Amino acid sequence: EGLEKGKREAAEESDYTEERWVLGGNNPCDDCKELADMGWVDIGELGQFPGDGETACKTNCECEIEYQ
């Protein structure tokens, strides 16, 4: 989670405006699949970070967020 928060801060400083959830691992949970299905959204719209415990996979999440 800390790494992802750092990535968001760097993205915002680089004037990126969008983020998307990218699935990781071989068996992502349904929550992560739903987040990934959102595609590109405004930064902050996802409302959470991989591994923050808010998805069904909790802190075992292997997903990441990409920015543009």
Supply the pLDDT for residue 1: 57
Residue 2 pLDDT > 90: no
> Tens of pLDDT along 25-40?
999 999 999 999 999 9
Q: pLDDT confidence of 43, banded at 50, 70, 90?
A: very high
Burial class of residue 15, CB neighbours in 10 A (0-12, 13-18, 19+) = exposed
Question: Is the backbone of residue 53 left (phi > 0), alpha (psi -120 to 50) or beta?
Answer: left
Supply the pLDDT for residue 53: 94
**Which positions ≥6 away from 39 have C-beta within 8 Å?**
20
Chain-centre distance for alpha carbon 56? 14
Specify which residues 42 forms β-bridges with: 18
